[in-house]
Structure 1
């Protein structure tokens, strides 16, 4: 079940590799994710001290979630990504290259009911690359319309 998608990620970045990571959440945050209250459009992934972190992702609180016994948590707090040590090392090496950035592409619940984040590692696109992407998208849209007209 898909929770959310970062629609701007493919437009702003040329994604080279993707990997799936678990995310460490509290109980009320899981309830918020099930309600679709996750925003990853401004988020990014960083590797610090051998751990991967999802930074600046917003999980809005849900009314009715049991908050007793828990500290009020900031909606934009950094959340730990659950990856194997080997995956963290390769992610860290890729991020050390010039101009590489790790951005969350989408979030979903897997078959076991666990929250997962798809992380894309890529290089930021220049303005002319973005224009080429728009041009290609418009051309494909026009082709589909023309083919639909004649079929």
Structure 2
């Protein structure tokens, strides 16, 4: 099983000029089903249905992780943290988030995060409360 760190040797490096910015886009979708937790941005939202997923199904963190991996030129979150690997069963998405940020810092120290913007249905969300109210 390849880890996020070991994947760097398999892919060409992204541009290394500090004056250039890099952008990543993330997308995630899970079916809402009874019996699963609804976790958004690491916050457990009390609901009768949650995201059916191998991990905790946190769609917000999955999008951010996918954007970071994409900016680094790596495969998407499903290839780096596959649902076929039992070690990710029920894993908190914050683990994926911390791992992707750690790898970003270790391998691309000349860059820094500028901002993260999330969208739902074409509308920019700036507060988690807005996202929770829309569910």
TM-score tier (shorter): under 0.3
User: Which of structures 1 and 2 has the larger relative contact order (alpha carbons within 8 angstroms, sep 6+)?
Assistant: 1
- The TM-score normalised by the length of structure 1 is 0.24
- Indicate the structure (1 or 2) with the bigger Cα radius of gyration: 1
More strand by share: 1
- The TM-score normalised by the length of structure 2 is 0.26
